[in-house]
């Protein structure tokens, strides 16, 4: 047992937080087997939808002008606009600089083509290894949708489960949020469902989910919901949750993840970048947790206004695991605020962060920025304990970080080591 002295405390916490391997429990990344679905490299990074919304603010052209450009032209224009004509001080722009630096590029040269050429020498497999090593990530949970035909064929060919670093999460947005489209997709896949809610439709939708959970080895079911999601309610979503999602999750013994508070396509001209956040009703989660005490719920919300109440709710229900600082909350100031009050209300019994990466190298900045904040918050708390005469050991610091960055997730799944 190594007692850490006051002088070393901060440094030790920071060092351990920066080097602890991480399970990234929600991303939009894919294993290399998924081919074109796995986005990586300079042009994908620069055309990340976070940077699209930031850059278009400076443009006076029609929105369609941006979309008419090739990906490379878009990337060049975003680089010029957000990095050269203005300084990259936002989270997403400074994140790109963090990535370049950690990849070993000379950011002072500001020569995009040099960076492009360097990466062009690498294969996707090499880059995945390098990035996971730099970012210290050893397990990545993808977002998987059987209604996506490209993805579906990878699963059907048996290649989806080849890379043991990647895990699946089965996305059920269409079933909950666009039932007419879901009916169409299910019918095309050979499931005997109708628009009308019947015993047969319920059974077939359950069969679809169960078969795909098994095929993907899915760790959990996941959905993103608008802020006006209500539960219980006399609507399609409540029926689908009560009669399909919950029974299937229970049968397969997996959690249900709800990401609540998105308002899609507030500005449709921006595509993926046009989604907005929206305040939600925490009592929907409360009702789910109370009604299904044996069902586990992984929950994150998008509005800052909901965070404290949701954290308090987690004190009331052990079947509720809060996770991550989602999307617009994934900025330094708010990650710090949220991490602090989560620790103050829940100790280390939560999942402080997920990356939500869409482009592989983003793992580098999203985790580096978050790890620093987690370290700072924890160091403050340990330091306070130290003044009271309670000395944390290095093993205990490691244990706490491992809980927050790995074990809380795996134990919640019932797959703890």
Of 122 and 358, CB closest to ligand REL = 358
Integer-rounded Cα Rg, in Å, for the chain is 22
Binding of Zn ion by 356 (CB under 5 A): yes
CB of 259 or CB of 404, closer to ligand REL: 259
β-strand pairing of 137-141 with 297-301: unpaired
Least distance from ligand REL to the Cβ atom of residue 356, Å? 4
Q: Rule CB under 6 A: is residue 195 a binding residue for ligand REL?
A: no
Tell me: does residue 266 bind ligand REL (CB under 6 A): no
Does 224 participate in binding ligand REL (rule CB under 6 A)?
yes
Residue 28 beta carbon to Zn ion: minimum distance, rounded to whole angstroms: 6
H/E/C letters for each residue in the chain?
CCECCHHHHHHHHHHHHHHCCEEECCCCCCCHHHHHHCECCHHHHHCCHHHHHHHHCCCCCCHHHHHHCCHHHHHHHHHHHHHHCCCCCCHHHHHHHHHHHHCCCCHHHCCHHHHHHHHHCCCHHHHHHHHHHHHCEEEEECCECCCCHHHHHHHHCCCCCCCCCEECCEECHHHHHCHHHHHHHHHHCCCCCCCCCCHHHHHHHHHHHHHHHHHHCCCCEEEEECCCCCCCCCCHHHHHHHHHHHHHHHHHCCCEEEEECEECCCCHHHHHHHCEECCCCHHHHHHHHHHCCCCCEEEEECCHHHHHHHHHHHHHCCCEEEECCCHHHCCHHHHHHHHHHHHHHHCCCCECCCCCCCECCHHHHHHHHHHHHHHHHHHHHHHHHHHCCCCCEHHHHHHHHHHHHHHHHHHHCCCCC
CB closer to Zn ion out of 145 and 402: 145
> Under 8 Å CB-to-CB from 168, ≥6 apart: which residues?
141, 142, 144, 160, 161, 216, 217, 218, 219
Q: Does 272 bind ligand REL (CB under 6 A)?
A: yes
Regarding 168 and contact with ligand REL (CB under 6 A), the answer is no
Ramachandran angles phi, psi of 276, nearest 5°: -130, 165
Which residue number places its CB atom closest to Zn ion?
A: 356
What is the footprint of ligand REL within residues 335-374 (CB under 6 A)?
Answer: 356, 358
Does position 263 interact with ligand REL (CB under 6 A)? The reply is no
Contact status: 361 vs Zn ion (CB under 5 A) = no
Q: Does 275 bind Zn ion (CB under 5 A)?
A: no
Q: Given the complex with ligand REL, which of 112 and 301 has the nearer CB atom?
A: 301
Tell the smallest beta-carbon distance from residue 93 to ligand REL (Å). Answer: 16
In this chain, which stretch among 59-67, 179-187, 329-337, 348-356 interacts with Zn ion, using CB under 5 A? 348-356
Taking the complex as a whole, the smallest distance from the CB of residue 415 to ligand REL amounts, in Å, to: 22
Residue with Cβ nearer Zn ion (204 or 356): 356
Hey, how many other C-beta atoms are within 10 angstroms of the C-beta on 15?
14
Beta carbon of residue 259, minimum distance to ligand REL (angstroms, whole number): 6
* Shortest distance, position 250 Cβ to Zn ion, whole Å: 25
Which of residues 86 and 358 has its CB atom nearest to ligand REL in the complex? 358
Q: Indicate the residue among 84 and 272 with the shorter CB distance to ligand REL.
A: 272
Report what 310 binds from Zn ion, ligand REL, none; CB cut-off 5-8 Å by kind.
none
Q: Give which of ligand REL, Zn ion, none residue 358 binds (C-beta under 5 to 8 Å, depending on kind).
A: ligand REL
What does DSSP say about strands 137-141 and 22-24: parallel, antiparallel, or unpaired? parallel
Is residue 259 a contact point for ligand REL (CB under 6 A)? yes
Q: State which of residues 63, 197, 327, 341 lies at the interface with ligand REL (CB under 6 A).
A: 327
The C-alpha angle 325, 327, 331, rounded to 5 degrees, equals 65
Minimum CB separation from ligand REL for residue 225, in Å?
9
Of 195 and 269, the one with the shorter C-beta distance to ligand REL is 269
How many residues touch ligand REL under the rule CB under 6 A: the total is 6
Q: How far is the CB of 325 from ligand REL (least distance, A)?
A: 10
The residues in 31-70 that bind ligand REL, with binding defined as CB under 6 A, are: none
| Under rule CB under 6 A, residue 169 binds ligand REL | no
Residues of the shown chain interacting with Zn ion in the complex, contacts defined by CB under 5 A: 356
Residues of the shown chain interacting with ligand REL in the complex, contacts defined by CB under 6 A: 224, 259, 272, 327, 356, 358
């Amino acid at each position: 047992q190594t007692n850490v002295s006051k002088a070393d405390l901060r440094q030790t916490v920071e060092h351990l937080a920066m080097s602890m391997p991480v399970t990234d429990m929600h991303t939009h990344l894919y294993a290399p087997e998924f081919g074109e679905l796995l986005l990586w490299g300079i042009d994908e990074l620069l055309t990340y939808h976070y940077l699209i919304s930031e850059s278009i603010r400076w443009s006076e052209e029609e929105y369609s002008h941006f979309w008419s450009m090739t990906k490379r032209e878009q990337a060049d224009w975003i680089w010029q606009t957000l990095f050269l004509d203005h300084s990259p001080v936002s989270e997403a722009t400074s994140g790109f600089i963090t990535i370049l630096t950690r990849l070993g590029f000379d950011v002072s040269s500001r020569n995009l083509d040099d960076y492009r050429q360097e990466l062009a020498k690498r294969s996707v497999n090499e880059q995945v290894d390098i990035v996971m090593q730099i970012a210290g990530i050893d397990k990545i949970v993808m977002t998987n949708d059987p209604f996506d035909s490209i993805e579906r064929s990878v699963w059907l060919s048996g290649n989806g489960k080849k890379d043991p670093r990647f895990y699946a999460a089965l996305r059920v947005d269409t079933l909950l949020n666009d039932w007419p489209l879901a009916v169409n997709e299910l019918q095309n896949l050979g499931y005997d469902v109708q628009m009308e809610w019947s015993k047969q439709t319920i059974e077939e939708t359950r069969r679809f989910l169960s078969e795909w959970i098994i095929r993907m080895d899915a760790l959990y079911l996941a959905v993103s919901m608008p802020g006006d999601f209500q539960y219980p309610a006399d609507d399609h979503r409540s029926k689908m949750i009560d009669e399909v999602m919950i029974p299937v999750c229970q049968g397969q013994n997996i959690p249900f993840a709800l990401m609540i508070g998105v308002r899609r396509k507030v500005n449709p001209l921006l595509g993926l970048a046009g989604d907005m956040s929206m305040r939600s009703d925490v009592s929907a989660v409360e009702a789910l947790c109370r009604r299904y005490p044996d069902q586990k719920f992984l929950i994150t919300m998008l509005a800052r206004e909901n965070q404290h109440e949701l954290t308090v709710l987690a004190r009331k229900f052990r079947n509720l695991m809060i996770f991550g600082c989602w999307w617009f909350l994934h900025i330094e100031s708010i990650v710090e605020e949220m991490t602090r009050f989560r620790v103050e209300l829940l100790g280390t019994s939560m999942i402080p962060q997920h990356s939500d990466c869409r482009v592989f190298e983003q793992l580098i900045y999203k985790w580096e920025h978050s790890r620093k904040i987690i370290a700072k918050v924890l160091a403050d708390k340990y330091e306070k304990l130290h003044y009271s005469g309670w000395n944390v050991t290095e093993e205990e610091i490691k244990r706490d970080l491992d809980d927050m960055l790995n074990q809380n997730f795996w134990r919640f799944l019932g797959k703890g080591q």
